[in-house]
Chains A and B, each alone.
Chain A
Amino acid sequence: MSTPLLAAHNLNRQFGGLMAVNDVSLRVHQGEILGLLGPNGAGKTTLFNLISGVTPVSTGRIEWRGVPITGMASHAVAGLGIARTFQNLRLFPTLSCLDNVMVGLHRHARQKRLAALFQTRPFHQKQAKLHQEALALLELFGIADAAHRPANSLSYGDRRRLEMARALANRPELLLLDEPAAGMNPHEKDQLCELIRQIQAQFQLTVLIIEHHVPLMMQLCDRLVVLNFGKTIAEGPPEQIAKDPAVIEAYLGGAG
């Protein structure tokens, strides 16, 4: 098989005596939507933090297109084309929604210093283009009306959508979504599912998604990986995961 876009080899992360991620190996292939399932505290978010460079790995290796990136700072990981959202929402609360997305465009907004200083025509043209791109992303997520309102004035669901818009502004190849549907009602969840499919096609994304809502994951994902107590307990296509005894045990048994 071809080199995966992202590969994790025997990742470990300890917090004191707790193995939050325990010998997890993972391959994410270009263009797929890979789902990460597991009960609370299984280590899903920690795995995201390891990949995005937010939390250093204890041991193990991470590769991007076959090149080792273990230990890279999170801004450098973002520079590779890996964008993420946060389970507990980390917007820039008092900045406008538009500025939140403009920050997402940071790596693509570089301008010549002198041009920026003297506000030359090319400077303004590029700036206008970036604004348009940011507005288009807000539009895509249905929050363009709030463009000039501060992020902390949005409803919970809209904040989640704004975080996705900001992540897309990074123009990523791999998008990590940490419970993007949390706090949304069933109808909104369906809409979000559609939207994720749409952006995946439109921006040619590879998606790694954490979500507790199992029906949504079954519908959306090409492949699922299930974690429990920091370990991978199952991996495969949704229909196979649905009848996997270890998964059923994890969700219905002691830990669930």
Chain B
Amino acid sequence: MDTTLLQQMLLGALLGISVYLPLRCGQLSLATPGFYAIGGTVAALLSTRIPALGGDGVSYPISSVLLEMALAAMVTGILALGIGKVVLRLRGIYLAISTIALVEILRVVSLNLSFTGGAIGIFGIPQPFASPEGYVGFTSLLLAVVCWLCDRLERTRPGLAMAAIREDELAAASQGINTANTKLLAFVLSALVAGVTGVIAAHFLNSWNARMGNFDASITTLAFVVFGGTRTWLGPVIGGLVLTALPELLRPVGDLRLIVYGLVILMGPVLFPQGVITPERLSRWSRMLRQRLRLEAPTP
């Protein structure tokens, strides 16, 4: 498979997780592209404006990328904390609309600031890896860490509290769950993942501009989760991988990409109300797989 496509798929999986986290507690936030754009801008600015980060000048040091990621996480985390406190008071479609507005505001602001390069953006972002393989390795590692953290989250108290809020917020509060804080936690984690993903994307794409986080991206990333499901982190990962690959594989038919996304958003909830990947389906598949393996194993 084309390594560039593979890299895009990995980035898609990370963004899928970012959209998934608030949705796990029933909060439809479409702010992911906004935080993704901020992460990318942080990386673009630091790596092109601060010569000290460049190291010996041969290839851009990975330690500098890690530093950018830490900074991007800090910026997006603090921003999400402030914004989340306000917008998470809204529910359902109102939250969705206000987060779309947030993404648009960020886009217009970055379009009109001089230090972000305005409409042209920032070019010549240095490369820490000589080949796409390097990016794939690094991003796979990040995805693995994020998946592991999500898995731990889901198997512990805050993860269950999030699911309870999704199912019935009032009943969850009556069990002693601080619902406002729990939703805020999910929102901030979502922003962190998006911000860190933006850092890698900026280096990988070599340039960064205001179009990186827009309404289209909100819908695309939402489709990852609608397709994959909101019940386990594996859903948005599969959704991000598959739906990023699909349009590239369908490239011969051009703009069909948008139609595919439209169909997924339309048909997904009808055919698979909880997404394709649910814990129940996973355990059924693994049972089937185990049976199959047992059948194929040579009898002693």
Residue numbers of A with Cβ under 8 A of B are 52, 54, 73-75, 78-79, 83-84, 86, 90-95, 99, 102-104, 106-107, 109-111, 116-117, 119, 166, 169-170
Contact = CB atoms under 8 A, between A and B. Distances in A.
A202 B149 CA distance: 40
Interface string B247-275: 00000000000000000000000000010
Most chain B beta carbons < 10 A, residue from A102, A103, A119, A170 = A103
A223 B155 CA distance: 44
Interface in B163-204: 163-164, 167-168, 170-179
A116 B164 contact: no
Interface in B280-300: none
B205 interface: no
Contacts of A109: 157
Given A75-B177, A106-B175, A92 B156 contact: no
B66 interface: no
B101 to A, nearest CB: 28
A95 B279 CA distance: 11
Contact of A111 (B156, B164, B173): B156
30 contacts: A52-B174, A54-B170, A54-B174, A73-B173, A75-B177, A75-B178, A78-B174, A78-B175, A79-B176, A90-B170, A90-B174, A91-B167, A92-B163, A92-B164, A92-B167, A92-B168, A92-B172, A95-B164, A95-B167, A102-B160, A106-B157, A106-B164, A106-B176, A110-B157, A111-B156, A111-B157, A116-B156, A117-B149, A119-B152, A170-B175
A107 B176 contact: yes
Contact of B171 (A73, A92, A94, A110): A92
Contacts of B274: 94
Given A90-B168, A116-B156, A103 B161 contact: yes
Given A86-B171, A92-B164, 12 more contacts: A73-B173, A78-B174, A78-B176, A84-B174, A91-B168, A92-B168, A95-B164, A106-B161, A106-B176, A111-B157, A116-B156, A117-B149
Contacts of B167: 91-95
Nearest to A119: B152
A75 B165 CA distance: 12
Nearest to B157: A109
A164 B174 CA distance: 13
Given A92-B163, A99-B163, A103-B164, A75 B179 contact: yes
A116 B164 CA distance: 19
B247 to A, nearest CB: 32
A95 B163 contact: yes
A104 B157 CA distance: 11
Nearest to B159: A116
A104 B168 CA distance: 13
Contacts of A83: 174
Contacts of A107: 175-176
Contacts of B157: 106, 109-111, 116
The list of the 6 closest CB pairs from A to B, nearest first, reads A92-B167, A78-B176, A90-B171, A107-B176, A103-B164, A116-B156
